[in-house]
Each structure stands twice: as structure tokens, then as C-alpha cells.
Amino acid sequence: MNPRTIGWLFGGLCCAVGLLTLMFAFDSGGADIALSLDRVGNDAVGDVGPNDRFPFAVLAFLLGGPTLIYLNATQWRNTGGY
């Protein structure tokens, strides 16, 4: 497999994992906000904050995002230019 292909797969997988983890990276006083908003109601929005999954989601985006940006910015070299 081509190293660029591995980079595309790595960057896409990191961004996808970061996005899915980010959905559960916030809580409102002891329960995941994505799972318990129906129980706590809209009055708990002021208590929303990041939980222990948040750093992993940010790390996944910081690894995947620049990888995809770099590969996209240099892709014209592999296609012979415009």
C-alpha cells in the first residue's frame, strides 16, 4: 500500500473517531449530555462541560486534521499538476 493511502486512511479514521468521541465528550453534572438531556432538561445547559473523553477527541482531531490538510494540499504533485 502506498504511504499516501495510509495517510489518507489514518487522517480520515482519526477525524471520524474524534467526531464520534466528541458527541460524548460533554456532560452535565454526572451524566453524558448526549444521553441524558431528556432527563435533565434545557435548564442544565449552563452546567455543561467537558469530561474525560474530551482530550482524546481533541487529540484525534489534532492528528487527523493536519494530516488530511497536508495530503490534500500536496495532492496536485501526484496528479502532474493542473
Dump pLDDT digits (tens) for 24-76. Answer: 887 776 666 666 666 666 666 666 788 889 999 999 999 999 999 999 988 87
Q: What is the pLDDT of residue 80?
A: 74
Q: Of 56, 60, 36, 61, whose CA–CA distance to 47 is shortest?
A: 36
Q: What is the pLDDT of residue 82?
A: 61
Q: What is the pLDDT of residue 68?
A: 94
The number of residues in the chain equals: 82
Q: What is the pLDDT of residue 26?
A: 79
Handedness of CA 65, 71, 75, 77 (dihedral sign): positive
Q: Does the structure show a pLDDT above 70 at 20? A: yes
CA 2-69-19 angle, 5° bins = 100
Q: Of 31, 5, 17, whose CA–CA distance to 59 is shortest?
A: 17
Query: How far is 76 from 82, CA to CA, in rounded Å?
Result: 7
* Pairwise pLDDT comparison (51 vs 14), residue with the higher score: 14
